[in-house]
Amino acid sequence: MNIEQLSSVEIQPESEHKYSVIWLHGLGADGHDFESVVPELHLTTQAHIHFIFPNAPIQAVTINGGVSMRSWYDILERSLDRKVDIDGIYQSASLIEPLILQELAKGIPSTHILLAGFSQGGVIALHAGLRCSHQLAGIIALSTYLPTIETLSTECSAVNKTTPIFMAHGILDPVVDIESGKAAFDTLKSMDYNIKWHDYLMEHSLCIEEIEHISVFINSIFK
């Protein structure tokens, strides 16, 4: 895999480009999945934000009978806390760094670049963001967990120890159970990360209240 293979859906800034958001979709979706959320966020600096929604590589997914689809890593078992495609997580995380470097090359400070992700995309956002050598503006991790958390103590980047993290989950989530997400939050909190937890009466999705809270979070960072 390389950066040429990681195509993206993009929303260009209407005014001077000052901020960037890289938002990663979930299993089987694509870069268009969260495109429609942008107007609902009502961001005060929206005209200055470059939104990048990368398309995950197409690969076979074991739990779906080996059918190929867009996936950041293989899902080997329905029980998320058992066998995990750790190599796939590291490989996809390495594809995000060039997107960050691409924005830096445009003159956007790393502290004006925010990583967001849903489900599988949230895993990659957390994994890549907490290991990124550039200080990021923030990380948004939705309906997700962090199977690589055990290696974080030796691989984490000190510059992102104070980066604000928004973590949210549906109480009724049948895909990524809330306990998995809360366990990741609790561990990150115990490691003194600047992280806040939100949960909502929903399944594996987004809700209006969550979108409002995401809006407040981004507006508090991009001013």
Residues involved in catalysis: 119, 173, 204
Half-sphere exposure of 193 (CA within 13 A, CB side): 27
CA-to-CA separations, 132 to 16, 42, 77, in angstroms, rounded: 26, 28, 28
Helix (H, G, I), strand (E, B) or coil at 194: coil
- Residue linked to tokens 């190929």: 68
Specify the amino acid at residue 41.
Answer: L
CA distance 175 to 188: 22
List, in sequence order, every beta strand (DSSP E) within 2-158. 8-11, 19-24, 49-54, 58-61, 67-70, 113-118, 138-142
CA-to-CA separations, 56 to 75, 96, 127, 154, 169, in angstroms, rounded: 14, 10, 15, 27, 22
